[in-house]
A and B are shown apart, each in its own frame.
Chain A
Amino acid sequence: MKFRGKIIDVACLNHFTRVITTISKLTKMCVLRLTPDNLFFVLSGKVANGGVSMWCELSQANFFDEYQMEGVSSEDNEICLEVTPENLSRALKTVQNAKAVKVKLTKKHCPCLTIAAELPTLSSASRVVTHDVPVDVIPRRLWHEFKEPNMPDFDVSIYLPPLKTMKNIVDRMKNLSNFLVIEANLNGEMNLKIETDLVSVTTHFKDLGNPPWGDDASQDGGASQSRDPEAMVEARVDIRRLQQFLMGQQVNPSKAMCNIVHQRVVHLILLHEDVSLQYFIPAVA
């Protein structure tokens, strides 16, 4: 297994840092899968992390000026690592003004992702900082746990309102309740609701639009088409999970969408150029 990547462009470095910082706010640990074309940050929905799962896909060419990798074998040309995104984020944040940043897989006292940056100085020699972030190499037999999740067979898909607005609302609702109901219909309307013994609060959004999913979307076309556009589908979720998602995100997505499977799961998607971040929050009864 070999991996080495180099980022020179400041904008790329900044963007890469923001993506990783976003991920670090969503989860303490996740799996980084490296393939010849892509980097994936994966969190598979386990009970220990509240059943949420995450899938973040980056195209390497969009970030790295140089990118070399050699996987476990030629037929399994991938590397699968368990990483602490917080550490990566911290390392990257301190090297924002670097002339060049290298990310490489190294064998130090343990396997590490080493982030080495060449920092500008006034003197002739450059200043070099290296951060060795310990990682666990995930054996081949466990890889199946970190495959791309299937697009759920959603009942309603809707564009999200500005995430900042949503965040402000959810932050306030958080003070009143631990659970929040997201409901939406095919008429571009979405409601965020909390209901407690003392108070019920609902925020209504309208004219959000429903993304046109092509035939290749996993939904069988008929189900949502034949649905009454006014009929709401809903999912009740742990408000902290949603808040975490809204709070940490620094991707500034060009598109933000939400798919709801009635009383099953909320599937949030952020798209920004070549980055896609999917986040699944299971519904609770």
Chain B
Amino acid sequence: MDCVVTGGNVKVLAKAIHSLSRIGDELYVEPQEDALALRSVNSSRSAYACFLFAPLFFSRYTIPSGHAFRCKMAIKSVQAVFRSLASLEKTVEKCHIELDKQKSRLTFTLHCKHGLLKTHNLSFQDSESLQAVFDKDSCANVFRAQPRLLVDTVVHFPPSLEEVTVAVSDERMWVRNHVDEEAEQSKAMLTELCLASDEFDHFAVGAHNSVTFCLKELRGLLVFAESTGLPISMYFDEPGSPVVLSVTDSVLEGDFVLATLSDDPNHRKNNSRRAHTPPPPPPDDFMNDDIDAYLIAMDTSIAPGPSATGPPTPSLARSTFSKQPAAANHKTRIHSEEEEEEEEEDEKADLDRPPNKKFCSLFFGSVLPPSSQMSTQPVTSQEVLASDSEDDT
């Protein structure tokens, strides 16, 4: 493997690595014929990100011939190569990435101004290919927006906030903070932001669903999208199936796949795909509300206010997002034989899964794919269902 990145693309590469570092601790590097793939996944396997850099992104791009090379390395050490983004832009003219087979090192050489060379020899481990299985094109809801819109949206939420809920109607999108424990609910501040469809470049709603996912990874992608100025596309379907955020340009593609909280199990049983439409919050009342609507009666009656649509899914227990030991989740799991069958499972199995999981896992391929398998949406036949709580690697 021998790649050279020059000029402004060095910063793009650096930003991509920084946003991947928001996802997981390891960077999976896979030079493919049609693109260099950089990927990461979090420890609970509920968030996955992949950047593909086309050969045109590089001023030189050669990959090892013969056998397919792929490796993983600590993302921190790669981040260290591109530590100071500000000075990177000013001083680095060229970045050379080369595989030193004899020493088993991946060498990053930064060619800086005044002939200064910075060489980082990073060790790596062989790894299997990391590949999430998702199909963004089949999602019912598709949006595209300038990064600024999403940056201005997330700024309303405190940095400590873990999850947001996104709900959509034909005309609007609501983003609100997710408060998961009922006990906290009475004390937690609720923030809701309403975006009109015409703020988006593209706004196509096929199902009035709402999904809840982690904000941290979205923030990670925003760092990248904002610096490159690339619009962000968002794809999602229903609670429990992943939300995909992606950026695309002629020489690169980034996909962030985030698990969403699965729905209330009781709700889920009779949840025939499209029938599930939560009542959309009433239209905005900002300019013409009447003070009487806000009357507080100190008895138990509940005044119907806007967004009195209630707390988001209070019946959900805590999210399992990497906070709980894997086994804790499966105490009540009855389908123990399911694990063997999972290799053959297709999406329908999704519906039969035990309802005790909160964040639905992503499908992962952790087997060696044939080298021809380059797409981000590979065929599922070889994939293993790796749930968020079955991380046995």
A residues less than 8 Å from B158 (CB atoms): 90
* CB of A1 closer than 8 Å to a CB of B: yes
Taken together as a complex, chains A and B put the C-alpha atoms of A124 and B199 apart, in Å, by 9
Flag A112-129 by CB within 8 Å of B: 1 or 0 each. Answer: 101010110111111111
The one of A1, A90, A119 that contacts B296, using a Cβ cutoff of 8 Å: A1
With a cutoff of 8 Å between Cβ atoms, the chain B residues found around residue A91 in the complex are 189, 191
Are B298's CB and A137's CB within 8 A?
Answer: yes
B275 within 8 Å of A (CB atoms): no
1/0 contact string of A136-165 vs chain B (CB within 8 Å) = 010000000000000000000000000000
Flag whether A131 is at the interface (Cβ < 8 A).
yes
Q: Name the residue on A nearest B196 (C-beta).
A: A125
Closest to A137 in B: B298
Residue A87, interface by CB 8 Å: yes
Look across to chain B and name the residue whose beta carbon is closest to the beta carbon of A139: B298
- A127 in contact with B308 given A121-B199, A137-B296 (CB within 8 Å): no
> In this assembly, does A68 line the interface, its C-beta being within 8 Å of a C-beta of chain B?
yes
Q: How far is the CA of A121 from the CA of B158 in the complex (A)?
A: 22
Q: B306: nearest residue on chain A (CB-CB)?
A: A130
Q: How far is the CA of A74 from the CA of B199 in the complex (A)?
A: 46
A110 to B193, CA, bound (A): 19
Contact A107-B297, Cβ < 8 Å, known A128-B284, A134-B188: yes
Nearest chain A CB to B147's CB is how many angstroms away? 14
B68 is an interface residue with CB less than 8 A from chain A = no
Residue B83 is within 8 A (CB to CB) of chain A in the complex = no
Q: A94-B155, A134-B187 are in contact. Are A124 and B198 (CB under 8 A)?
A: yes
- Across the interface, do A106 and B186 meet the contact criterion of CB distance under 8 Å? no
Chain B neighbourhood of A126, CB < 8 A:
196, 286
- Specify which of B191, B194, B298, B305 is in contact with A108 (CB 8 Å cutoff): B305
In the assembled complex, the CB of A234 is this many whole angstroms from the nearest CB of chain B, namely 41
Beyond A91-B189, A109-B185, A110-B186, whether A2 also contacts B296 by CB under 8 A is yes
Asked if A105 lies at the interface with its beta carbon under 8 angstroms from chain B, I say yes
Q: In whole angstroms, how far apart are the Cα atoms of A250 and B310 in the complex?
A: 36
Contact A125–B190 (Cβ < 8 Å) = no
Report how far A75 CA is from B249 CA in the complex, Å: 67
Asked if A109 and B186 sit within 8 Å, CB to CB, the answer is: yes
Residues of B within 8 A of A132 (CB): 189-192
Interchain CB contact under 8 A, A107 and B188: no
Contact of B190 among A1, A2, A108, A124 (CB under 8 A): A108
Closest to B290 in A: A4
A241 interfacial by beta-carbon distance below 8 Å: no
Contacts of A128 in B (CB 8 A): 193-194, 284, 286
Judged by a CB distance under 8 angstroms, whether A262 is at the interface is no
Contact status of A4 and B196, CB under 8 A, knowing A116-B286, A128-B284, A130-B191: no
Please measure, in the bound complex, the distance between the C-alpha atom of A125 and the C-alpha atom of B294, giving whole angstroms: 24
**How many angstroms from the CA of A118 to the CA of B196 in the assembled complex?**
12
Q: Which residue of A lies closest to B179 (CB)?
A: A109
B379 located at the interface, meaning its Cβ lies under 8 Å from any Cβ of chain A in the complex: no
Distance between Cα atoms of A132 and B156 in the complex (Å): 12
Task: Report how far A196 CA is from B270 CA in the complex, Å.
Answer: 72
Cβ 8 A contact of A1, one of B195, B286, B287, B298? B298
Kindly list chain B residues whose C-beta atoms are within 8 Å of the C-beta of A131: 156, 189-192
B303 within 8 A of A: yes
The closest CB in chain B to the CB of A94 belongs to B156
Using Cβ atoms and an 8 Å threshold, which residues of chain A touch B292? 2
Q: In the bound complex, do residue B198 and residue A123 qualify as a contact, i.e. CB atoms below 8 Å apart? A: yes
- B349 at interface, CB cutoff 8 A: no
B294 and A2: CB pair below 8 A? yes
User: Which of A68, A104, A110, A129 makes the CB contact (< 8 A) with B194?
Assistant: A129
Contact B298 A129 (CB under 8 A): no
Beta-carbon contacts under 8 Å, B143-198 to A: 152, 155-156, 158, 185-196, 198
Smallest distance from the beta carbon of A102 to chain B beta carbons, Å? 8
Report the Cα distance A133→B177, complex, angstroms. Answer: 13
Task: Report the bound CA distance from A1 to B298 in whole Å.
Answer: 8
CB atoms of B296 and A129 under 8 A apart = no
Residues in chain B near residue A137, CB distance under 8 A: 296, 298
In the complex, what residues of B have CB within 8 A of residue A104's CB? 291, 294
Which residues of the partner chain B approach A118 to less than 8 Å between Cβ atoms? 286-287
Q: Which residues of B contact A114 (CB under 8 A)?
A: 294
Cβ of B189 and Cβ of A134 under 8 Å apart? Answer: yes
Task: Say whether A111 faces chain B, with CB atoms less than 8 Å apart.
Answer: yes
Q: How far is the CA of A11 from the CA of B187 in the complex (A)?
A: 30
User: B185 to chain A: which residues have CB within 8 Å?
Assistant: 109
Q: A25 CA to B199 CA in the complex, in Å?
A: 36
Which residues of B in the span 12-63 have a Cβ within 8 Å of any Cβ on A? Answer: none
Output the least CB separation between B267 and chain A (Å): 19
Interface membership of chain A positions 174-190, coded 1 if the CB is closer than 8 angstroms to chain B and 0 otherwise: 00000000000000000
Query: What residue of chain B has the Cβ atom nearest to residue A104's Cβ?
Result: B294
User: In the complex, what's the smallest C-beta–C-beta distance from B357 to chain A, in angstroms?
Assistant: 26
A244 to B305, CA, bound (A): 38
Contact: A105 with B296, CB < 8 Å? yes
Question: Which residues in window 168-209 of A have CB below 8 A to B?
Answer: none
Chain A CB within 8 A of B86 CB: no
Asked if A2 meets B295 with Cβ closer than 8 Å, knowing A87-B189, A108-B305, A134-B189, the reply is yes
Enumerate B297-326 residues with CB–CB distance to A below 8 Å: 297-298, 302-303, 305, 307-308, 310-311
Interface centre among A84, A105, A123 (most CB of B within 10 A): A123
Closest Cβ of chain A to B92, distance in Å, is 35
Chain A residues, CB < 8 A from B191:
91, 129-132
Which A positions have Cβ atoms within 8 angstroms of B? 1-4, 68, 84, 87, 90-91, 94, 102, 104-112, 114, 116, 118-119, 121-134, 137
Apart from A116-B286, A118-B287, A133-B189, what are 5 other A-B pairs with CB-CB below 8 Å?
A4-B291, A104-B291, A108-B308, A121-B199, A128-B286
A-B contact pairs, 21 of them (CB 8 A): A2-B291, A2-B295, A84-B189, A90-B189, A91-B191, A94-B156, A102-B286, A105-B294, A106-B296, A108-B308, A123-B199, A124-B196, A124-B198, A125-B199, A126-B286, A127-B194, A130-B192, A130-B194, A131-B192, A132-B190, A132-B191
For the complex of A and B, list the 3 residue pairs with the smallest distance between their C-beta atoms, beginning with the closest. A125-B196, A132-B190, A123-B198
